[in-house]
Homo-oligomer: A and B are copies of this chain.
Amino acid sequence: MAERIEADVAVVGAGIAGLVAARELVTAGKEVVVLEARDRVGGRVLNHTLSDGTVVELGGQWIGPTQLRMAKLTAELGLETFPTYNTGEHLLRLRDKPIRYRTRPSLGPLVLADIGQAQARFDRLARHVPLEVPWAADRARQLDAQTFETWIQRNARTGSGREMLRLFAEGVFAAEASDFSLLHALFYTHSGGGVDALAGTAGGAQQDRFVGGSQVVPLRLAEQLGDRVRLGAPVRRIEQRTSGATVHADGVDVAAGRVIVAVPPTLAGRIAYDPPLPARRDQLTQRVPAGSVIKSHAVYDRPFWRHAGLTGQATGDRGPAKVVFDNSPPDGTPGVLLAFLEGAAARQLNRVRPAERRAAVIGSLVEFFGPQAADPVEYAELDWSEEEWTRGCYGAHFPTGVWTQYGPVLRAPVGRLHWAGAETATVWSGYMDGAVQSGERAAAEVVTAAA
């Protein structure tokens, strides 16, 4: 028989969103139980320890200057950050040999003008999408009836300009520009403060890193919550009655007044609900797939690229690894290159043997950084689409038609059920900062409802 616990609130999922919600509720004097499917906390945030003890991140990892909720949480938890390595020149490779650059790559005046006007137009459009109600944007239906790829083809005139926009799509959404709607691209970009804020290192979303790896955030939160967090307890069914709700997980049932479901919308749709969810909410969960990303680390005795005057940041349209960062520890030893396989590249390389995938990633690194990249001393990767309790990263993208037809039910509570998770955020949607916002918002809903 399953153990039975009573609580004021049951939280489903011990990612940052669920843990922050629980923390807020505890502060408000509520009895809380957090049910986590895995044997660890953190969700899409996960440390990995290399053989020499160096910690790297296999999931979300950066914090940027406008991510104020994460900054506040970091301070409150007594955690430290340090700057992502950013000294020297970046690499960009469009078809040809890599070129080095500091602020703007020398792609020729025509291409630079093309990129400049397309980005300006896109950022301007994005600023006009209201973050609380993207479906109420001017011409929302039209923006939502086309893919971001269609917009790129219409608004960038040069091949290189188009490639740069596609790289933005892959790097930021872990999906192809053809996978999601223009309205989604605009909402998400506005939510993070614009193209440069999303794509940037210094001054942008990739500016800083956590000492000890980003999973210190959920680990510290869970530590404070103590035995309120139950690991190894995947939630299978949630019953709502007039008197309360019961959350059935493997091995434990929680009777609670309210429930916060803090998992990605697709996974929320796989829980059985009694009574069944309203149609529109159910159909939403059918329509917001997770992106596709394999995050890889190649470890070298030293960060040889630094000595060559390179930041370690590289972007290229050939792939399969199209986006690379220096992910070495604060003291720079060992040297770690972090390579992303995203969208179609992740889907293709999901199917090959690990050795072949590793060779493909190392091949990309050699093309960017030369033969010194050919022999890493260690290699570590994670394909998030293989993770049963995530099933894709970084987060959900909204295909055409979804924001306008289903957006209003994304956060709307259903009786005693409340929805959290980075996908439900209005500021820094899809990021750790958005997860914090969503947890705080869901906790506030519960406190208000119970008052």
Taking beta carbons and an 8 Å cutoff, which residues of A are in contact with B? 141, 144-147, 149-150, 175-179, 236, 266, 269-270, 272, 276, 279-280, 282-283, 286-290, 292, 344, 347, 350-351, 383, 385-386, 388, 391-392, 399-401, 405-406
Contact of A283 among B269, B290, B401 (CB under 8 A): B290
Give A351 to B149 CA distance when docked, in angstroms.
33
Give A344 to B135 CA distance when docked, in angstroms.
14
Contact of A276 among B179, B266, B289, B388 (CB under 8 A): B388
- Contact call B350/A401, Cβ cutoff below 8 A: no
Give A146 to B399 CA distance when docked, in angstroms.
11
Given A150-B146, A269-B270, A400-B400, are A279 and B383 also a contact pair (CB < 8 Å)? yes
Whole-angstrom distance between the Cβ of A256 and the nearest chain B Cβ: 22
Give A149 to B144 CA distance when docked, in angstroms.
10
Which 5 residue pairs spanning A and B have beta carbons closest together?
A145-B178, A279-B385, A286-B289, A399-B399, A276-B388
Give A217 to B146 CA distance when docked, in angstroms.
40
Whole-angstrom distance between the Cβ of A31 and the nearest chain B Cβ: 29
* Residues of the B chain whose Cβ atoms lie less than 8 Å from the Cβ of A401: 147, 175-176, 178-179, 399
Give A351 to B406 CA distance when docked, in angstroms.
12
Residue of B nearest to A266 (CB): B286
Contact of A347 among B150, B289, B405 (CB under 8 A): B405
Give A270 to B286 CA distance when docked, in angstroms.
10
Contact of A289 among B270, B279, B287 (CB under 8 A): B287
* Residues of the B chain whose Cβ atoms lie less than 8 Å from the Cβ of A150: 145-147, 150
Give A342 to B178 CA distance when docked, in angstroms.
25
Whole-angstrom distance between the Cβ of A405 and the nearest chain B Cβ: 6
| Copies of the chain in the assembly | 2
Give A150 to B269 CA distance when docked, in angstroms.
30
* Residues of the B chain whose Cβ atoms lie less than 8 Å from the Cβ of A290: 283, 286
Given A176-B401, A286-B266, A400-B399, are A280 and B147 also a contact pair (CB < 8 Å)? no
Which of A236, A282, A287, A401 has the most chain B CB atoms closer than 10 A to its own CB? Answer: A401
**Given A175-B401, A236-B272, A279-B383, 20 more pairs with CB closer than 8 A:** A141-B178, A146-B150, A146-B178, A147-B150, A147-B400, A266-B286, A270-B270, A276-B386, A279-B350, A279-B385, A279-B386, A280-B350, A282-B385, A283-B289, A283-B385, A283-B392, A286-B289, A287-B399, A344-B405, A347-B405
Give A290 to B286 CA distance when docked, in angstroms.
8
Q: List 23 A-B contacts (CB under 8 A).
A: A144-B178, A145-B176, A146-B150, A147-B150, A176-B401, A176-B405, A179-B400, A179-B405, A236-B236, A276-B386, A279-B350, A279-B385, A280-B351, A280-B385, A282-B385, A283-B289, A283-B290, A283-B385, A283-B392, A286-B289, A287-B399, A399-B399, A400-B400
Which of A175, A236, A283 has the most chain B CB atoms closer than 10 A to its own CB? Answer: A283
- Contact call B147/A282, Cβ cutoff below 8 A: no
* Residues of the B chain whose Cβ atoms lie less than 8 Å from the Cβ of A266: 286
* Residues of the B chain whose Cβ atoms lie less than 8 Å from the Cβ of A347: 280, 283, 405-406
* Residues of the B chain whose Cβ atoms lie less than 8 Å from the Cβ of A289: 283, 286-287
Give A179 to B287 CA distance when docked, in angstroms.
10
Give A391 to B282 CA distance when docked, in angstroms.
7
Whole-angstrom distance between the Cβ of A233 and the nearest chain B Cβ: 14
- Contact call B391/A283, Cβ cutoff below 8 A: yes
* Residues of the B chain whose Cβ atoms lie less than 8 Å from the Cβ of A280: 347, 350-351, 385
Give A147 to B179 CA distance when docked, in angstroms.
10
Whole-angstrom distance between the Cβ of A388 and the nearest chain B Cβ: 4
* Residues of the B chain whose Cβ atoms lie less than 8 Å from the Cβ of A283: 289-290, 292, 347, 385, 391-392
